[in-house]
C-alpha cells in the first residue's frame, strides 16, 4: 500500500500571505506615485520661475549693450530699452524704441506660464506690477522700488526679485 505524504505537497503561499504581500506592494506604489506627482509640481514651478528670470536677465543684458533691433532702425526711433510685460498667462520681452512708440512686435520673446502655476509680480510695497522696463546703457529700470516675482502651485513657491538698478537675483524656494 502506498501512502501520500501530504506535508510534502504544501508548497506555495496561502491566500492570506498573498493578500498581505499585494497590500504592501500597493501601498509602496501609491507612495511612490504621490512623491513623483509632488516632484513634478515642484519642477514645473521652478522651471517657470527660471525661464522668466532668464527673460528678465536677457532684457537687462540687451538694454545694457543697447542692442538695437531692426524695427527701431527702420522707424528711425532711438532705443529706450527693453520691456518685460505680463498678461494673463505669459511674459513678453520686447524693445521700446521711443517713449511715445509702442514696443516692437518683431523683437518679442514669449515665456508661457505653466498650467496651474500662479504668477505674481509685486513691488516690495505690495502693489502689483504688470511690466518692467530696463533702460539702455545701464540706466536702471522703470521702477523706483524692487519688484518680487513669485511663482507657486500645489503649495510650492519660488521667488526672485529685480531691484530698481536692474539687478536680477537668483531663483529661491520660499
User: Tell me: the pLDDT tens digits for 66-79?
Assistant: 888 887 777 778 88
Which sign, positive or negative, has the C-alpha torsion 74, 75, 81, 85? negative
Does some domain include residue 85? yes
Query: Which position has the higher pLDDT, 124 or 29?
Result: 29
Could you count the other beta carbons within 10 Å of the beta carbon of residue 143? 18
71 and 97 Cβ atoms separated by less than 8 Å: yes
Least confident of 68-77, 120-129, 135-144: 120-129
Assigned domain for 120 exists: yes
Does residue 5 form part of some domain?
A: no
| Residue 7 is assigned to a structural domain of this protein | no
Label residue 99 by pLDDT band (50, 70, 90). low
| 2 domain residue, yes or no | no
Residue 105 has pLDDT above 60, yes or no: no
Position 31 in a domain: yes
- What pTM did the predictor assign? 0.72
Residue 95 domain boundaries: 25-173
For residue 64, the domain's CATH number is 3.55.40.10
Residue 20 lies in a domain: no
Domains: count for the chain: 1
Amino acid at each position: 500500500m502506498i501512502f501520500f505524504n501530504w506535508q510534502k505537497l504544501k508548497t506555495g503561499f496561502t491566500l492570506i500571505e498573498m493578500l498581505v504581500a499585494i497590500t504592501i506592494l500597493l501601498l509602496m506604489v501609491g507612495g511612490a506615485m504621490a512623491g513623483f506627482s509632488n516632484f513634478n509640481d515642484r519642477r514645473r514651478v521652478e522651471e517657470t520661475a527660471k525661464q522668466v528670470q532668464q527673460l528678465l536677465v536677457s532684457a537687462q543684458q540687451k538694454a545694457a549693450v543697447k542692442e538695437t533691433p531692426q524695427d527701431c532702425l527702420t522707424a528711425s526711433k532711438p532705443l529706450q530699452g527693453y520691456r518685460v510685460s505680463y498678461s494673463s498667462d505669459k511674459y513678453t520681452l520686447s524693445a521700446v524704441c521711443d517713449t511715445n512708440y509702442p514696443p516692437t512686435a518683431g523683437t518679442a520673446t514669449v515665456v508661457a506660464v505653466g498650467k496651474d502655476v500662479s504668477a505674481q509680480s509685486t513691488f516690495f510695497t505690495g502693489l502689483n506690477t504688470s511690466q518692467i522696463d530696463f533702460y539702455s546703457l545701464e540706466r536702471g529700470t522703470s521702477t523706483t522700488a524692487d519688484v518680487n516675482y513669485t511663482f507657486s502651485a500645489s503649495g510650492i513657491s519660488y521667488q526672485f526679485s529685480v531691484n530698481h538698478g536692474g539687478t536680477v537675483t537668483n531663483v529661491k524656494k520660499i
